[in-house]
Structure 1
């Protein structure tokens, strides 16, 4: 009886240690696309990275693409130290090229991603060729209040001096309001929570950002693109560091979206040190497999005892 009780108690003590999902990953997560490192919280494979960044990045012929509800963008850089990334929209207007016709993507993030992913505060969006009925100009011209402004020293007054305006026949146009709204309206992302060109009734847009303490002389030297900041919860950050420190890859349960540490052929809800080594033909078993083996052994001994 004492022998039986020891087996049952020892087996029961192992059950709470079992970690992982029903289907363990047979590989670690991919960490690059072309020359860009893809690290936590991002990922290129299902189940990898933070669940809030799932189905966000895709790698096509070594080109890293970022996809949200407003469209797809090429990823130029990811800065993990400053938690920011730079995106390129092929129809984004620059100083040399003004793109109208509503061809640009704009920038609209899914509502459930907004706590983690938004353009940086120093990113100016300049909306171009918006109609007088645009939500931007509610009450114009009787109301003098409009959202247009400079952001981090960048705005439409300087942008009007770009050579690209000559190609659309609006050289230095829109310097005054005249009888209609300005041709260009600069603002930060927080002012509108989304750059939806159709909803805002605009023909195009430009986006530029600063990299302090760099100072440039004019719009021809601005950095054009969309600078996005990203973040994760402190608890998820700590979990990932512990996982990677033990040789695992940070991931999540694809059904319940809980955090998982991917450890080769098995997953853990803590880290890859949650494994008990047992000499079985010279191999080591993770605790879930080892626990199953011991439970089976207990059943065998229990049956033998009864017989």
Structure 2
């Protein structure tokens, strides 16, 4: 049967619109905005590791870290060292100071504070805050803080934004993550402090607070042994994205075709002179072949 010119034109439009979607409908994306997404994180349900699903989310091209204390933008992820860097919009820095409720990690989440993270509690009550205790005298107090943190407080309180508050340096207390206790929570209302600063790097300029990296560095682990899963590595080598599905959150490799497999995306691959074609490459070849067929029919 010979197709009319209008039928061929209609068929061409259908192929142009439909076929690309068949080979590029991968539900688990490899980026969120300008940030690369790799295992164990994912861009939606069924992507990445289920243990991290509720903590790391991608919404409107913004990667966010969520705990019981709030939602925080993720500025970057170092997949080599397994460290997440986040910012807290309510955090005080050398450039601005504002009230905050504090920050904390969920005790049962697969995260912990990076050893380099330093917390400086600002404008704390020296008379009633639990971080101070009596030293035996009526007017003497000793802060339950890191004694080595005094220079950090002095430099922070010299910043223009904080110095305008005209508060004494004695109201500053430097906490290290281990001091937050088993709950991993910094409750500023309970500690009777107005705000806090989080610093994860001094950027080689320990005496210049304007150059410090403000935020919180958080470590994560793949599993108890912290081994990168072999099944996930095989999936990624085949251009897939690691995920999970089913009642028991079984491993799934999400492929560019939109299909999930239990291994990798090399299913149905063909060999051509020793070259192994991936499914998305086969799909591209199929489109090219159909395009040539249309040209021959038209001619």
Decide: shared fold, TM above 0.5.
Answer: yes
Contact between 2:155 and 2:207, CA under 8 Å: does it hold in 1? no
- Quickly say closer, same or farther: Cα 1:53–1:188, change in 2 above 3 A: same
Aligned with residue 237 of structure 1, among 229, 242, 262: 229
Does residue 85 of structure 1 match 2:84? yes
- Paired residue for 2:104? 108
Q: CA deviation at 1:144?
A: 4.2
Counterparts of 1:20-169 in structure 2, within 5 Å, are 27-100=26-99, 104=100, 106-113=102-109, 116-131=110-125, 132-137=127-132, 139-142=133-136, 144=142, 146-150=144-148, 155-169=152-166
Aligned counterpart for 1:191 among listed residues 172, 179, 183: 179
Partner deviation per Cα, 1:74-115 (whole Å, 9 max, x = no partner): 111122122222211111111122223xxx3532111221xx
Question: For the structure 1 residues 238 and 136, does the alpha-carbon distance in structure 2 shift closer, same or farther, using more than 3 Å as the test?
Answer: farther
1:176-187 matches, within 5 Å, as 182-187=170-175
SS of 2:189's equivalent? Answer: helix
TM-aligned CA deviation for residue 147 of structure 1? 2.6
Q: Residue 86 of structure 1: SS of its match in structure 2?
A: strand
Partner of 2:278: none
Q: Is the 8 A contact 2:201 2:214 kept in 1?
A: no
After superposition, where does 1:207-246 map in structure 2 within 5 Å? 207-210=198-201, 214-233=204-223, 234-246=226-238
Deviations 1:130-170 (A, max 9, x none): 33443423x3344746133446x962133222222233232
2:251 counterpart residue number: 259
3-state SS of 1:147 partner:
coil
TM-score in terms of structure 2 length: 0.68
Verify the 8 A CA contact 2:41 2:52 in the aligned structure 1. yes
Residue 54 of structure 1: how far off its partner (Å): 0.6
Report if aligned partners of 2:243, 2:251 keep a CA contact under 8 Å in 1: yes
Gap runs ≥5 in structure 1: 1-25, 175-181, 279-307
User: Hey, what's the Cα distance between the residues in 2 that align with 1:241 and 1:134?
Assistant: 50
**Structure 2: distance between partners of 1:184 and 1:277:** 63
Structure 2 gaps, min length 5: 1-24, 271-299
Q: How far is the alpha carbon of 1:254 from its aligned partner? A: 6.3
Q: Structure 1 residues 196 and 242, CA, compared in 2 at 3 Å: closer, same or farther? A: farther
User: Where in structure 2 are the equivalents of 1:285-296 lying within 5 Å?
Assistant: none
**Matched residue SS, 1:125:** strand
Give the match's secondary structure for 1:77.
strand
Give how far 1:266 is off: 4.4
- Name the residue aligned to 2:297: none
**Which TM-score applies when normalising by structure 1?**
0.66
- Cα pair 1:56 1:66 within 8 Å, conserved: yes
Tell me the CA shift for residue 66 of structure 1.
Answer: 1.9
8 Å CA contact 1:124–1:150 kept in 2: the answer is: no
CA RMSD of aligned residues (A): 2.9
**Aligned residues, how many?**
236
